[in-house]
Amino acid sequence: MATSGAQPKPSAQRRPKSGARRRKVLQPRSVRGIVPYTSEVVFDLLADDLGVVEHRPRLDGTSELVWTILSQHTSDLNAGRAYDTLVARFPTWQEVVDAPTDLLIATIRHGGLAQQKAPRIQAVLSSVRERVGDHDISFLAEMPLAEAKAWLQSLPGVGPKTTGVVLSFALGMPAMAVDTHIFRVSHRLSLIGPKITADEAHDILEGSIAPERVFAFHVYLITHGRRVCKALKPLCNACVLSERCPARESLAVVGDDRKPAPGLAAKPL
Ligand code: SF4
């Protein structure tokens, strides 16, 4: 989407994106008598099961940010309808900011929770413009990951998951976006501890795997959660991670011979 104006961006130290932080290689401890897989091994096993994941940015950073707000608590279909209507009616982000909020609410009503999302989108876009002079956030890709995350999370209502989506999907940075599937699978596999929250899981999972693998790791975990490690009745007997999954014993059902749907639905969120 077009942005208005062209102002200097905050100074961004040019460092390699993938080298911006030190990895913490987690040493798995035995859980209920099972030593869990590391994230790297989980990645390898799911890669064998699901195939190669390619990173293809679908939107620029600002558009991804707005999309992500629209997609909260609704389906991709509804979010897509709301987004398409929004960008058709308001060709620039400044027009979104300047629009009467009631008109914006009506425009994005297909996405649900429009009363909350419309003012949030306006507040976020206004804040971006105040800070950098326009609505282009592509400069974040040149910042160290931790600084880029902090910058985005200082915007009104932007949390770790939205930050992960924008930095990873749009800007190609090694950031995780932990949704309900990734959180559940990570808990069951003991990639994160039992008391870790979803917000805390972002940094832990990012630090547990090589930066160049973060995006695919995200896609593998979310796909595994949708196909196999479902919230209810996971398909443990057909799971490629079952051998060293500490949750298997309590979740597997003897005689369950269900098979997962074939193929990788490479839909990030
Ligand atoms: S064995 Fe069961 S609980 Fe463990 S990852 Fe596989 S499906 Fe999930």
Residue 39 CA to residue 205 CA, distance in Å, equals: 8
d(CA 261, ligand 1 centre) in Å: 15
Nearest protein Cα to ligand 1, atom 1: 242
- The mean pLDDT of the chain is 88
**What residues pair up with 31 in beta bridges, in sequence order?**
34
188 touches 251 (CB < 8 A): yes
Q: Is the pLDDT of residue 172 over 90?
A: yes
Q: What is the pLDDT of residues 142-159, one digit of tens each?
A: 999 999 999 999 999 899
pLDDT at 195: 94
pLDDT at 57: 85
155 touches 174 (CB < 8 A): no
**Secondary structure class of 59 (helix, strand, coil):** coil
pLDDT at 13: 35
Q: Is the CB of 155 under 6 A from ligand 1?
A: no
Domains (ranges, CATH) in the chain?
25-55+174-269 (1.10.1670.10), 61-170 (1.10.340.30)
Average pLDDT for residues 165-176, to the nearest whole number? 96
- Considering the chain, what percentage of its residues have pLDDT values greater than 90? 77
Residue 25 CA to residue 154 CA, distance in Å, equals: 28
Query: By mean pLDDT, which of 1-10, 76-85, 133-142, 248-257 is the weakest?
Result: 1-10
d(CA 166, ligand 1 centre) in Å: 29
- Segment 258-267 long-range contacts (CB within 8 Å, at least 24 positions apart): 259/235, 260/227, 260/228, 260/235, 261/227, 264/50, 264/51, 264/53, 264/219, 264/223, 265/223, 265/226, 265/227, 266/53, 266/54, 266/219, 266/223, 267/76, 267/222
Q: Is the CB of 246 under 6 A from ligand 1?
A: no
Q: Is the CB of 184 under 6 A from ligand 1?
A: no
Q: Is the CB of 228 under 6 A from ligand 1?
A: yes
pLDDT at 31: 81
Average pLDDT for residues 234-252, to the nearest whole number? 96
Q: Is the CB of 82 under 6 A from ligand 1?
A: no
Phi, psi (5° rounding) for residue 63?
-65, -40
pLDDT at 262: 74
d(CA 66, ligand 1 centre) in Å: 34
Q: Is the CB of 188 under 6 A from ligand 1?
A: yes
Average pLDDT for residues 119-138, to the nearest whole number? 97
Q: Length of the chain in residues, anyone?
A: 269
Average pLDDT for residues 158-168, to the nearest whole number? 95
pLDDT at 81: 93
Q: What is the pLDDT of residues 24-71, one digit of tens each?
A: 555 677 887 889 999 999 999 999 999 988 888 889 999 999 999 999
**Would you state the structure tokens that stand for residue 218, as one six-digit string?**
């995200």
- Nearest ligand 1 atom to the CA of 245 is 4
Nearest protein Cα to ligand 1, atom 8: 229
Q: What is the pLDDT of residues 59-105, one digit of tens each?
A: 999 999 999 999 999 888 999 999 999 999 999 999 999 999 999 99
Q: What is the pLDDT of residues 185-230, one digit of tens each?
A: 999 999 999 999 999 999 999 999 999 999 999 999 999 999 999 9
pLDDT at 264: 62
pLDDT at 30: 82
- Nearest ligand 1 atom to the CA of 234 is 7
Average pLDDT for residues 115-133, to the nearest whole number? 97
